[in-house]
Structure 1
Amino acid sequence: MKLNGNTIFITGGGSGIGRALAEALHKLGNKVIIAGRRRSHLNAVIAANPGMHAIELDVADIASIERAAKTLIAEYPDLNVLINNAGIMQFDSVDGKIDDALLTSTITTNLLGPIRMTSALIEHLKTKNNAVVAYTSSVLAFVPLAVTGIYSSTKAAVHSYVLSQRFMLRNTGVRVLEIAPPWVRTELLNSQEAEQAMPLDQFIAETMQVLGTDADEILVEGAKQFRANVGPDEHGFVNGFNEQAIALFGAA
């Protein structure tokens, strides 16, 4: 990914990984627009980063997504990078009766949100040079954490969706990237002080190094052991499978 001269929209940019990514990209000379539900958090970020912009967005609300997309296209017509970062994570009990509110909110935010956000902007992004759609998934997409089984399953679904979308956009100018963090010191599960979690600044530094390459998957060193769990030839297998399917069904 080209690391400067972009107009970048980042969901969940008011805290944690989203804020840190926004600040790192802002410092490199990109025009950065962050989004989130909490206006106070957004105001704090843009106050600390003069020149950064913010809009309110609830990725669990399709009407909010559609409003945000219209605003972005109208006010930031050069937008060429979307980073779907917003997400929620809670402990659950997949060995018993599931809390339906937790189930619905997690799937709506973590899976439907990024799919809808990308859908709302994809035709615009197809018209731009150096266009990128990125998704923040997790190493839990590859190795689920059983006590957050629903969260882990949404990240596995995001990974699957990324593979499909990357394939379907292969002949366009839009690159599809997946950022798969390990455990990082953020607000998720109140991990800010967790000694075993990766320091946020270290994660961002390593992530930015990989982001500036041609890699489709943005993996820091500590994430690679989890990614390897699914086997080294996943992309080749998935692409070959889809080429055969297109030949069979005559689609795309």
Structure 2
Amino acid sequence: MDINDRTVFIAGATSGIGLELAHRFAAAGGAVIVGGRRTELLDQLAAQGFATVPIDVTDQGSIDRARDTIIRDHPGLDTVVTMSGIGIPEDLRDPAHFAAAHQTIDTNLLGTIRVIDAFTPHLIGRGTGTIITVTSGIGFLPFPLLPTYAASKAGVHAYTEALRAQLDGTGIEVAELVPPAVATTPESARRNPSALELGEFATEVMDLLRTDPTPREILVKGVLMHRWAERDGTYDDLVAQRSQALAALPGRP
């Protein structure tokens, strides 16, 4: 896709990958609208020149207000990125984990669907545009410490496939960004030394987005082992390795 001069809304871009991509689209000449819940961070980004809008993807009213503001102020909106997501460790032996599971599905899966539903009529009306969903390598190679996170991202992947099929012929392209572990903070880099450096990840993502036609799945090199583990016969061994993190749960040996 041509990433130059895009009008891009990124839901969940006040930090981390979303914020880095906001900077990259802006550097390519785009108008970027940053959405998020944390008003203090939105204020800081507004001071840097970004358009900002408060949005809570678990609240339909909040999404509707954000959509109306964005389309009013940026009628040329042509790209929507559904970045919002959370990951919460869960002990599936303890039924109390369900609150975390509910919150995760509401944010990661239903939040993605709500945002897409809000902007799809606008994009269909334009006859062109791009929707970029964000899943995770964990959606293809589960990390057992984050079970519902993995399920939610697998769900977004399946939903993205169906969305692409249903929007065929409308002029809207649908791409799925599949990040591996990315070091978005110094703390996250210390916790996971193998995590991909944020700037390196974003550079690879933007290069892949520039490809014509846009790949259906935006797969940086660091996520290929996750995406193709079943095909490559490494799935069981890798899940077993990742299961070692369950020792961090209280009461586990």
Measured against the shorter chain, the TM-score band is 0.7 to 0.9
Give, in whole Å, the separation in 2 of the partners of 1:98 and 1:135: 30
Give, in whole Å, the separation in 2 of the partners of 1:137 and 1:43: 27
Give, in whole Å, the separation in 1 of the partners of 2:134 and 2:113: 12
Tell me the amino acid that sits aligned with residue 41 of structure 2: H
Partner of 2:184: 186
Give, in whole Å, the separation in 2 of the partners of 1:170 and 1:231: 28
**How big is the alpha-carbon RMSD for the aligned residues of Structure 1 and Structure 2?**
1.7
Q: Percent identity?
A: 35
**What aligned pairs does 1:219-230 form with structure 2 within 5 A after superposition?**
219-230=219-230
SS at match of 2:174: strand
Partner of 2:215: 215
**What aligned pairs does 1:122-161 form with structure 2 within 5 A after superposition?**
122-128=120-126, 130-161=128-159
| Gap runs ≥5 in structure 2 | 233-253
Give, in whole Å, the separation in 2 of the partners of 1:45 and 1:200: 19
Partner of 1:94: 92
Cα offset, 1:33, TM superposition: 0.1
Partner of 2:202: 204
> Any idea what the Cα deviations from partners look like across 1:142-174, whole Å, max 9, x if unmatched?
111100001010000000000100111111100
Aligned length: 229
Partner of 2:43: 43
Give, in whole Å, the separation in 1 of the partners of 2:230 and 2:68: 39
Instruction: Tell me if the contact between 2:128 and 2:170 (Cα under 8 Å) persists in the aligned partners.
Output: no
TM-score (norm 1): 0.86
Tell me the amino acid that sits aligned with residue 121 of structure 1: F
Partner of 1:239: none
Higher mean C-alpha displacement, 126-135 vs 54-63: 126-135
Instruction: Tell me if the contact between 2:127 and 2:170 (Cα under 8 Å) persists in the aligned partners.
Output: no
> Are 2:19 and 1:59 equivalent residues in the alignment?
no
TM-score (norm 2): 0.86
> Any idea what the Cα deviations from partners look like across 1:24-57, whole Å, max 9, x if unmatched?
0001100000000001112223333x2x200000
Give, in whole Å, the separation in 1 of the partners of 2:110 and 2:125: 24
Instruction: Tell me if the contact between 1:19 and 1:45 (Cα under 8 Å) persists in the aligned partners.
Output: no
Partner of 1:112: 110
Displacement over 3 Å in runs of 4+: none
Structure-2 change in CA distance of 1:230 and 1:212 (3 Å): farther
Cα offset, 1:137, TM superposition: 0.6
Tell me the amino acid that sits aligned with residue 92 of structure 2: V
Give, in whole Å, the separation in 1 of the partners of 2:88 and 2:15: 17
Cα offset, 1:98, TM superposition: 4.2
> Are 2:74 and 1:76 equivalent residues in the alignment?
yes
Instruction: Tell me if the contact between 2:90 and 2:147 (Cα under 8 Å) persists in the aligned partners.
Output: yes
| Gap runs ≥5 in structure 1 | 233-252
